């Protein structure tokens, strides 16, 4: 009986030690300590006490919903074909054409200055936020705090968090207006804070870099980003193709780049069966969904789009939407 009593006592202690309330208290203590280290890092980066007090007030624990969303990103859970079909819809194509008609002056200025074709700027707008309709309502700082505290990509999001705090400290936007996606992406083009600091520009000349409320600033900032990562305005992004013969698997993937003439000799054709363009372009063949899925020849601009978002599905969706706006397209 004595041993049984000791066993129950031990089980009771373990229950108290690992009960939800005890675990929650441990997480809270760890989070509080982590947050204090973050404050020290932010102070060392020159961020004011006033900004830190306002931005980090009332943060008691990570937000489970943010972690949940991070683990269910559509680029990771959907096939490329499903991802593109869901985003390059007739409605989104029609709305993009309206945007091209609504902002011809600013799009023209941005196109000339940054050497990025306007259809791709508008397509990015469409894919990222459905032309500004869905920019996100999540407070950016708590989201980034949660993701920075999480161990999977903590270092990356810690840098983004410090960049976001710097944006606040410099007065570019108020804390109440700094809202975006669960991942901290902001504005109609869903700029991460570090992208804002590196690429955002004041296009309308009002002295503010306002990607949240100024369409000219947002358009120019997106174009500046693409220009800085190597966009080429004499090319498109790539194209859907069909394979007329079996290829060595070593040829498939972004690691392999061959001239279009070589791909033509290997039996690669446009999706309608016609010959590939006779241009001196290097291209890679990708088949993201596997042998039975759609195939694409992609150019340097595809790589630039992947600098924006490291997802083949995202880059193909942007390119496909851009080319859907008009029948006469530059090749």
C-alpha to C-alpha distance for 161 and 197, rounded to whole angstroms = 12
3-state secondary structure of 243: strand
Please choose, from the candidates 69, 43, 37, the residue with its C-alpha nearest in 3D space to the C-alpha of residue 143.
69
Among candidate residues 40, 60, 81, 128, the one labeled active-site is 128
- CA triple 317-320-322, angle to 5 deg: 105
C-alpha to C-alpha distance for 41 and 298, rounded to whole angstroms = 42
Residue with the two structure tokens 């939800």: 20
Contact 160, 153 (CB under 8 A): no
Contact 227, 253 (CB under 8 A): no
C-alpha to C-alpha distance for 137 and 129, rounded to whole angstroms = 12
C-alpha to C-alpha distance for 193 and 190, rounded to whole angstroms = 9
- Alpha-carbon dihedral of residues 90, 92, 94, 95, nearest 10 degrees? 160
Question: Does the annotation count 323 as an active-site position?
Answer: no
DSSP 117-173: -HHHHHHHHHHHHTTTT----EEHHHHHHHHHHSSSSHHHHHHHHHHHHHHHHTTSS
C-alpha to C-alpha distance for 270 and 240, rounded to whole angstroms = 7
In the numeric block, which tokens belong to residue 200?
């955002």
Residues classed as catalytic:
128
């Amino acid at each position: 009986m004595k041993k049984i009593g000791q066993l129950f006592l031990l089980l009771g202690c373990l229950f108290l030690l690992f009960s939800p309330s005890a675990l929650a208290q441990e997480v809270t203590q760890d989070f509080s300590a982590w947050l204090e280290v973050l404050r020290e890092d932010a102070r060392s980066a020159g961020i004011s006490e006033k900004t830190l007090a306002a931005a980090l007030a009332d943060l008691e624990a990570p937000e489970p919903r943010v972690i949940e969303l991070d683990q269910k990103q559509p680029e990771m859970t959907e096939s490329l074909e499903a991802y593109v079909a869901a985003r390059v819809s007739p409605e989104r194509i029609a709305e993009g054409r309206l945007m091209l008609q609504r902002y011809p002056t600013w799009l023209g200025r941005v196109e000339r200055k940054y050497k990025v074709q306007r259809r791709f700027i508008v397509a990015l707008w469409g894919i990222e936020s459905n032309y500004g309709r869905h920019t996100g309502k999540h407070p950016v700082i708590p989201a980034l705090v949660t993701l920075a505290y999480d161990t999977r990509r903590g270092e990356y999001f810690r840098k983004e968090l410090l960049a976001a705090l710097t944006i606040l400290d410099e007065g570019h936007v108020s804390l109440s207006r700094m809202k975006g996606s669960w991942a901290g992406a902001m504005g109609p083009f869903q700029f991460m804070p570090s992208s804002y600091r590196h690429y955002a520009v004041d296009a309308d000349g009002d002295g503010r870099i306002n990607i949240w409320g100024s369409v000219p600033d947002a358009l120019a900032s997106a174009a500046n980003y693409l220009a800085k990562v190597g966009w080429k305005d004499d090319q498109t992004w790539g194209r859907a193709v069909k394979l007329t013969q079996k290829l060595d698997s070593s040829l498939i993937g972004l690691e392999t780049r061959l001239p279009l003439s070589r791909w033509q000799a290997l039996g690669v054709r446009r999706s309608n069966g016609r010959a590939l363009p006779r241009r001196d372009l290097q291209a890679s063949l990708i088949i993201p969904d596997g042998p039975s899925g759609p195939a694409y020849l992609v150019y340097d601009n595809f790589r630039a789009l992947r600098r924006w978002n490291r997802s083949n599905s995202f880059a193909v969706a942007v390119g496909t939407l851009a080319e859907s706006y008009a029948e006469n397209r530059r090749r």
